[in-house]
Amino acid sequence: MERHYLDLSLPVGQSRRMRIIERPGLWMKPEALAGLVGKLRQIASRTLADKDLEYGIFSGDKSRLESTFITLVTDSKSGAPIAFNALPVIPLELDGRPVELLHLGLVMVDPDQRSKGLSWVLYGLTCFLLFIRNQGRPIWISNVTQVPAVVGMVTETFSEVYPDPAGGGPRKFRHLVLARQILRAHRYVFGVGPEAEFDEQQFIIRNAYTGGSDNLKKSFEVAQKHRKDVFNTFCQRHLDYNRGDDVIQIGKLDLPAARRYLTDMVPKGALGLVAVASIMALIQRAILPVIQWLDATREFGRLRPRSRA
């Protein structure tokens, strides 16, 4: 049966529209794909003052778009791109079985649109919809950053996160197994070069900004702070910002994490939109294929209608 990839577009208030696109490199036509990348580059050029990125979706490697979920926010009147999030899916192995880990990848917002209530869309909505579409099964996630606000957001939203600067939860063997695999074979996902060193005890990547993400390097003073000082102190104490260090966090998106997203991140006025998006994602992935499968009179993928004598 032909696979249906997620392509969901909804208004998100304040004259904005959101589009979530699953693995566009696998199905989107070349001209549409080029247009999508062009919009992402437009946001990046404004965010980085025309500096370049050379990893992930900006590397020129089409295969990066074959394993990435794109969340794009545009102005609903002019169509101008405002913000995006790129979530790569990383194939790993855990307990002798293949697993797909969702990397909380690159988030960029046009400088003129910051602090306008987009966090719940860019940092959690796609993850939540994937959790719903996965029938509530836990999804492993990773995060690589030097920004205290992001470290805190991941810690407070997801489950079993390590490192956890606030709660001090222990490092489990599964955390280490997943992190080792990511650093061994998937550094290109977040632009970390081969010379970077991984501290397995503290989950710190030292000298991380040499693999295409060079222009994302920040000073501690510039990096956005969290409202809870424990995360700011953790980053200042453990990361060398002059050298360019990152913390890598491993966690899990499960039912408690999904509940925290709904209660803590999503504005009450947007809960209805999240419900609609969840229903549409389920319809697109589960219900429509069943309806099409049961219709024996129309062609569907490799299936052909039964000929009648």
pLDDT tens sequence across 272-288: 877 877 777 666 555 54
Do 204 and 238 touch, CB atoms closer than 8 A?
yes
Tokens in use for 238? 């453990």
- Please state which of the ranges 265-269, 275-279, 287-291 shows the lowest mean pLDDT: 287-291
pLDDT bin (cut points 50, 70, 90) of residue 308 is low
**How far is it, in rounded angstroms, from Cα 222 to Cα 195?**
25
pLDDT band of 309, cuts 50, 70, 90: very low
> What is the rounded average pLDDT for all residues in the chain?
87
The whole-number pLDDT of residue 1 equals 42
pLDDT at 291 over 90: no
Quick one: 294 exposed, middle or buried, by C-beta within 10 A (0-12, 13-18, 19+)? exposed
Closest CA to 250 of 189, 167, 159: 159
- Please report the pLDDT score of residue 306 as a whole number: 58
User: How many CB atoms within 10 Å of residue 226?
Assistant: 22
Identify the residue with better confidence: 241 or 129. 241
pLDDT of residue 240: 97
Higher per-residue confidence, 227 vs 113: 227
Span 21-31, mean pLDDT?
94
Give the tokens for residue 17: 């529209």
Per-residue pLDDT tens over the stretch 247-262 = 999 999 999 999 999 8
pLDDT confidence of residue 3: 61
pTM as predicted? 0.86
d(CA 88, CA 27): 16
3-state DSSP assignment of residue 43: helix
Mean local confidence (pLDDT), 103-114: 89
pLDDT greater at residue 280 or residue 159: 159
Percentage of residues in the chain having pLDDT higher than 90 = 60
